[in-house]
Amino acid sequence: MSEHHHHHPTPQIVSVQDMIDRCREVGLRRTKALEELLSTLLESARPMTLSELASSERLTTQCDKATVFRLLQRLTEKGFVRRLGLHERAAYFTLLIPGRHQDYLICTECGSIEPVKAPCPVHELEEEIRVKTGFRNLYHELEFFGTCPKCA
């Protein structure tokens, strides 16, 4: 079967400036805090919690936790940030970057999060849905929940 990946553009190298421009297009004010938050998320290889973000080098001097939380909420609403996890208390945040796709495994006991290192079976389904429904720019976000080996 041929690879149907024309609806998943190759991951662009995204700069903070790109992200800020996209944020401004949807009416988010450009602030130093927003810039630093986007930079921190962009540099992070994995999803981060609110506490990790608020106490990160770039943000700890910039703003308080409440500001970080408000920004994250706005970014999530606008589709720039994806919120992962089970509940407010242990939510993780990660940037949504066009063409870059990741599914996650989340432990229901300790709340740890790790990327799924298996090929994504949903791409073919996505293609089928796209053809049948005529939906464009289709994407999905998968989260698998279970008990990690440490907690099991």
Per-residue pLDDT 10s for the chain (152 aa) are: 444 444 444 445 678 888 888 888 888 888 888 889 999 998 887 889 888 898 888 887 878 888 888 999 999 988 889 898 876 667 889 888 766 778 888 888 888 888 888 777 788 888 899 999 999 877 778 888 899 999 98
C-alpha distances in angstroms, 106 versus 5, 29, 100, 129?
27, 33, 19, 26
Tell me if 1 is assigned to some domain: no
The answer to pTM > 0.75 is no
Which pLDDT belongs to residue 6? Answer: 43
Tell me if 24 is assigned to some domain: yes
Contact predicate 86/108, CB 8 Å: yes
Closest CA to 112 of 76, 141, 148: 148
CATH number at residue 29: 1.10.10.10
Contact predicate 33/71, CB 8 Å: yes
Which pLDDT belongs to residue 149? Answer: 94
Q: Tell me which amino acid residue 5 is.
A: H
Tell me if 33 is assigned to some domain: yes
Tell me if 10 is assigned to some domain: no
Tell me if 51 is assigned to some domain: yes
Tell me if 130 is assigned to some domain: yes
Identify the sign of the CA torsion 48, 54, 57, 59. positive
Domain residues for the domain of 109 are: 16-146
Number of structural domains in the chain: 1
Closest CA to 22 of 102, 97, 100, 101: 97
Closest CA to 42 of 65, 66, 70, 20: 20
